[in-house]
Amino acid sequence: MMIVVEYHPRGDLGSYLQKKGRLSPSKTLRFALDIARGVNYLHECKPDPIIHCGLKPKNIMLDSGGQLKVAGFGLIKLSLISVDKAKVAAGSSLDSSNVYMAPEVYRDEIFDRTVDAYSFGVMLYEMIEGAYPFYPKPLAEAVKLMGVETKRPAFKVKSRHYPPDMKELIDECWHPEPVARPTFSEIIVRLDRIVSHCSKHGWWKDTFKLPWK
């Protein structure tokens, strides 16, 4: 069997972040909306929604037209419990240093689409802060701090680099309790509201420019 996939000459978001470091608020908003719309499409699939469960910068591809594409879904084998609930399939191995993965996945619990919101929150933090949570601690230690001890990193970057309400959105996305996390349709509404607010007040006038500029 051969699978043909779209070629993305600009590589992935993980490599882009390693090269660029902390992103501007406008780029973060543009990237966040692209990712949220992609994941929401998966979650709204009929008749069966798709849980990504492996959302991380390395699985977000950058195309030549200035858009991000969600990739890498299906790499973690899942056992479906119901239409919108799943577990990691028996015998599957998980990367113990994947700081983007929700704690309930590591605990081998039944989970739902909110695991992707958790991953999204971690990526939002990294895009604005320029490093994964609790950097420079080793990734495995960061996973333990967030997943086992339910600790969250401080927001170190000056407040002016955070669009209004972005910190609150991040806190909700990576909330330890899955039921407290927003859906991606809600995330899109929140992000659109932030963009509208920034545009109305004349902040970050490059918000709608291609992020590669």
User: Which pTM does this prediction carry?
Assistant: 0.91
Domain ranges (residues) in the chain: 13-198
Helix 25-43 with 114-129: angle, nearest 10 deg: 170
Residue-wise pLDDT tens digits, 151-194: 999 999 887 778 879 999 999 999 999 999 999 999 999 999 99
Binning pLDDT at 50, 70 and 90, where does residue 2 land?
very low
- Per-residue pLDDT band at 94 (split at 50, 70, 90): confident
Domain 13-198 class, CATH top level: mainly alpha
Tell me: the pLDDT tens digits for 3-13? 445 656 678 99
